[in-house]
Chains A and B, each alone.
Chain A
Amino acid sequence: MQLSIRVTGEGADILSFLLAKNPANLYDRQEKGHRVRLFYTVCAPTEAEAVLYVTPDPIELVTGSPDSYDITHHINDRQFAISSLFCSFARQALATALSGRCQEDYRGWVNHPFDMTLSFGPVASELSDEGIADLFYPLGYEIVCERKVVSSARTERDDPTARWLTLHGTATVQRALRQLFVLIPVMDDYRHHFLDEAELERLERFGDGWLSEHPLRGFVVRRSLRFGDLIRLARERFQWLDEVSWSEPGAPWEGERSFSDGDCMRSGPRIRLNDLRHEVIAQRVAELPERTVVVDMGAGEGKLSIRLGAIPGVRRILAVEPSEAAHRRMAKRLDEATLPSGDADIAPIWGSLLYADKRLAGADVMILCEVIEHIDEERVEDAVHTVLGLYAPRALIITTPNREWNALYRMRTDLRHDDHRFEWTRDEFRMHCERWAQRHGYAVTLEGVGEVSEQFGQPTQMAVFTRGGAPRG
């Protein structure tokens, strides 16, 4: 990770005084075991260039990390990418320039706008070139982006993940460095340190005089502070954070994607559909004559289980889930939840559709809400066989996405979620359900959940199986 500052024109050699680094010497320091060096390639009256580079200790960088048992953790770009690591290791070397407290004789030059070229990198950022330009262009810089691709023979990759930036403009040394110290961590979203209110102070000090005018100030603040409570504090403190400024940089930018919930459509209605689905399931359960014991297979964080607990007549809910992380979140949710009826008992239990579990047999209702599409299509058959053949609940409710409806989402992928192994059309789902019902002696009714499209049906499809409905095949 490296930064060079080149200034030209009258008084260019003053750069060495502003940086407080003698051009005749090599600056070589250790910052917490990581090497920081500064040298000049030239320092003449009309042209000067200082180069500062940091070479972190790669072994020190990965020890003691919680991820160190993951092989990929040991081969990473952190020792190269210009990021918050750079800002903190280089800060000492650039302290004088950042603060503007150089020798008395040169104070006048602190606010002198130089013709300046800043060259730094390598940059690892998920922002597009345009997105990066949107950060620097409003500050009066021209930008050149150098890209580096190393590809395997397998794919000719054209999406470079390593870039080097060169900015050209007119700026004071102090302002330019401060801008970089704010924007480098915005480009590279990684943070190696704990974020607290000191970050607000950093933004306030380094952003002084330019950030409040930046069209993407909201984005800069959000990426800098990351956490909701810090961002709330910033909104209280910085009046310049108005509603307009929350827009995002130009090019498409992948928003946070939730992998925690069962469904992950990439647009607004997602939350509403999930709730709606739970509502419809709750309705169907409430209509069932027998509903004392309900099994929620693939309960996730327990949202549906809690909703089911509010149904009169439901006494016991087995919230079955195979993920340890989901269990932890479920425990928290159950702790916080207040059940309206108050007397249904929700028991989180570890389990999965691929194993047999005696505790699940003979329930009144079993629910597979957005579960089957997470199982390889070839295994679904066995899983359903286990449910209907072995556990034989009085009623079974299955919901799963309706693939046809995907045409109405603007999706970049085939399936609605990274972990979906398949999504069925209405015909496919009906065919499977009817076969299962026939084989195990159940009656089945099908319906949809969510907004109705004449052509594509509804986003979610649902099947309700009831035992004894059909003759055994």
Chain B
Amino acid sequence: MAECISLPHAGIALLVGASGSGKSTLLAKLVADGTLRPSEIVGSDQYRVAVADVEHIGLDENGRQQAQYARDRYRRVTDEAFAVMGEIVRARAALDRLTVIDATNLWPDDRARFVRIARDHHVPAVAIALDVPLATLLTRDAIRAYPRGKQRVRQQAEQFRRHLRSLKTENFAAVHVLSERDLNECEFVRLCNPLVHEVSAGLDFIGDVHGCMNEWIELLTRLGYAPDESGVYRHPQGRRFVSVGDVMSRGPQSLLAMRFALDHVEADAAYMIDSNHGWKIARWLDGRKVTLTHGDEKVAEELEQYERTHGRDETERLRTRLRDFLLTAPSHLVFTQNGWPQVVAVHAGIRDAYIGRNSDQIRDFCRYGDVAGMDEGGRPIRRDWFREHASPEWIVWGHDPRLEPLVVERTVNIDQGVVFGGALTAFRFPERELVSVKAHRDYAGVTESPLSSGHTERFRPPDVGRFVDGFQVDASIHRGVVKIRPEHARAALEIVSRFAAPLEEMVYVPPTMSPSPESSALPGWLEHPREAFRYYREQGVTTLVVEEKHMGSRAVLLLFADEEAGRRHVGRATLGTILTRTGRPFFARELRDQVLARLHRDLTQAGYFARHESDLVLLDAEIMPWNLKARDLIERQYLHVAAMAQLDREHRLADLRRAHGAGLAVEAWTAEAQAQLDSAQAFSKVVQAYCWNTEGIRGIQIAPFHTLALTGTTCFDRPHVWHMEQGRELAEASDLFVGTEYRIVTDEASEESAIRWWMELTADGHEGCVVKPDVFVPRGPKGGLLQPAIKVRGREYLRIIYGMDYLEPENLARLRQRSVTRKQRHALMEFALGVESVERFVRGEPLERMHECVLASLALEAEPVDPRL
């Protein structure tokens, strides 16, 4: 019978056979029929030529000395040739290529070397031994160009025979021994990588089912699957579902779940991968000695029950089918599109270097994850392999139940512990949507549910060692990582340690904002909208939103629909948090509780949370009046300066007037003193313009201008007009909220009208406007991030920034030379970090992941930048 020999898609195939056994002939044939590429073959002869330009060294030289010399030279050339060859084989294994080794490979030591290379790179090694009779070998040798000589051929044949039996024990994935006849009759096939499949019409990854069949069916139905006439759930668009393993154990219907998986895999409607429970059950079904614990015993009970109702033979058949199915379940699967890996399904974990490969080590890793040992309670100490995932494909995994799907660095954990009363989650690809159904009940009923420990896990305090010596953050919308130097990291850590709110409540640090790069072209003006408009026009932005800039204190509000939502999102039963831009509590506790209670009441009454189908809202806002937060600063600094300046200038003007009355020619000085007094009074007026009395929550105004996030989603894809409308909606819902006036600029006319509006606003000392592109995350013509906003502050307002006399010509001339380069660079980095941290928050990533963005922003703020910009 003709044997069919399969060559792995990648790995090492060793030919084993004496000189003249037909190795090169076989390979030439395989190249000729297209089975192999010439570059897939490395041969010892080829490398002897490569390193020493010799095809053959005859050892039958006359004379002892010559023979000795020839042997010696032969050994040296062979050693070097094998060294180079080994390196080539290693490189090809590392790159996941197939390499066929055309050498005699007669000695176990030589073969072991290649087996080791294969193992190190997690690729299979196979051996193909050519068993040819000595007589044939000798005949062939006699007629070849450089005969090896009878003695050598005989030695080799003997060596071949001696080790043929032990070949099977040398850890090859497969050993084929072919006689001459076999060789002529057998067929060689190249296998595809069994781990690789096409994304095709789309995939729906399903988390750990653990026998919860009802939820599984419910989820598939939600996803659009329906049973065909044979009961196979199919999707109308041809999508397939992928179980990430652990379909059995712990839960109520393991047997059914396993059969369901098997039927669907056989019907090419689904995939399923290996898993820790699956492997345990597989070995148990195979009759191996295993102890069934952790809910595996329920599978055994179910099978006994099955046997009672279906009889022994039927049960045996099922047992065999399931055993084969589970034993051969792939360690993981890689799904590609146009030949590129897109998404990987794995049960417990995988390293990037393991993707698409197989070895015992990889299979173990995929089943159990990165386990560093056991803790005192006998639970595995799991290391976070997913933090190291850097290659571009997504990895979908289960195994480790967590309250919410955990998304970290393009990895997503979809085990939400349905069997513990959590939920069964699906991850849709390529849509990358999460769909889940709640457990009908807690089936496992264990006292210490992994879900509750997973929850505390999320809010575990970040490891200070990661930050203290500097760190970097990969903010996805920013080109290149944001690097934080040690001294700035420490400054930020100190601020957080001493003043900040609980870390899990610091979700977002508002980015700094720059004025336009150029000062106003108008004489007597430092800032003017025209330069901001021009900045964006030059970057190709056609629609701008000009928003009124409130003068109060920046605040970030995280409001929850109820206290339970607080527990879910920040780990504490609370109606929300209100923080300053540096993460400090905005209000003292009592006032905070009042504000939160009022906002909660108003938003709930207005049906806000229900309308947005959200249990939270994250707002970027300004809280007024200015003195609410900055009272001390205003009194100690601004009002004091105002008083000092007025006192100084009043006396000077009075004395100069008396001198003038006495006939002294001090007109110029008097005029100057009058102008300066006017400036001092203007300054005083501007400072007081932002202050008013508040009593409790009365008098407080909150102007939300960005709705950053709702449950499960950020709002960075919404245009600013949407954010403005959201502000209006909130203002309608609660008296504490005020809306923000804005204008849209698209052409010259709307530009002129916006400028007129700005002039009117700022004439009395109003702070000014913020000019934003209509999209939240703006990009320039080359794809680079643009300034998300440019501030244009009023002429009078700027007195409290640059000093009351900044408009004096010689002062203004100097101030116009200011540079905003650094400020703009910071604004971009902080913007990207802000977006990133909210995204991580929404995805429910561990605190440390969100906090690194927050800390990075605070560290950037610790860098010296002119604070007046």
- Chain A positions within 8 Å of B, measured between CB atoms, are 1-2, 4, 26, 37, 39-42, 51, 53, 55, 58-59, 68-72, 74-77, 80-81, 119, 121-122, 124, 146, 148-155, 157, 160-164, 322-324, 350-359, 374, 376, 378-379, 382, 386, 390, 419
Contact = CB atoms under 8 A, between A and B. Distances in A.
A152 B631 CA distance: 9
Q: Of A80, A324, A358, A376, which is in contact with the most chain B CB atoms at under 10 Å from its CB?
A: A80
B643 A356 contact: no
Contacts, number: 191
B606 interface: no
A378 B502 contact: yes
Interface residues of B, number: 73
B496 A149 contact: no
Contacts of B67: none
A60 to B, nearest CB: 10
A77 B651 contact: no
Q: Of A39, A55, A324, which is in contact with the most chain B CB atoms at under 10 Å from its CB?
A: A39
Interface stretch (B385-393, B608-616, B685-693): B685-693
B647 A74 contact: no
A86 to B, nearest CB: 11
A237 B47 CA distance: 95
Interface of B: 460-465, 467-468, 487, 490-491, 493-494, 496-498, 500-503, 585, 589, 625, 627, 631, 633-648, 651-652, 655-656, 658-659, 662, 664-666, 669, 676, 684, 687-688, 691-694, 800-803, 805, 811, 814-815, 864-868
Contacts of A379: 502
B645 A80 contact: yes
Contact of A39 (B641, B666, B692, B864): B666
Q: Of A68, A124, A351, A352, which is in contact with the most chain B CB atoms at under 10 Å from its CB?
A: A352
B682 to A, nearest CB: 13
A70 B676 CA distance: 25
Contacts of B692: 153-154
Nearest to A162: B643
A75 to B, nearest CB: 6
B464 A355 contact: yes
B493 A148 contact: no
A121 B643 CA distance: 12
A55 B631 CA distance: 29
Contact of A358 (B465, B658, B669): B465
Nearest to B572: A378
B664 A124 contact: no
Given A80-B641, A164-B647, A152 B461 contact: no
18 contacts: A4-B655, A26-B666, A26-B669, A39-B659, A41-B659, A68-B866, A74-B867, A75-B801, A75-B803, A77-B640, A122-B648, A152-B627, A154-B694, A161-B640, A161-B644, A355-B493, A378-B589, A382-B502
Given A41-B658, A154-B627, A355-B463, 16 more contacts: A2-B648, A39-B659, A41-B664, A42-B662, A51-B659, A59-B815, A72-B637, A75-B800, A122-B647, A152-B688, A154-B692, A350-B493, A351-B464, A355-B464, A355-B467, A356-B460
Q: Of B497, B501, B655, B803, which is in contact with the most chain A CB atoms at under 10 Å from its CB?
A: B497
Given A75-B638, A322-B494, A322-B498, A41 B655 contact: yes
A148 B646 contact: yes
Nearest to B799: A75
B684 to A, nearest CB: 5
Nearest to B668: A26
A76 B637 contact: yes
B651 A69 contact: no
B556 to A, nearest CB: 17
Contacts of A26: 664-666, 669
Contact of A72 (B496, B500, B633): B633
| The 10 nearest A-B residue pairs measured at CB | A152-B691, A352-B497, A355-B464, A162-B643, A71-B867, A322-B497, A80-B644, A122-B647, A41-B658, A356-B461
A306 B802 CA distance: 48
Nearest to A389: B456
Contacts of A58: 803, 805, 811
A165 to B, nearest CB: 11
A90 to B, nearest CB: 14
B463 A51 contact: no
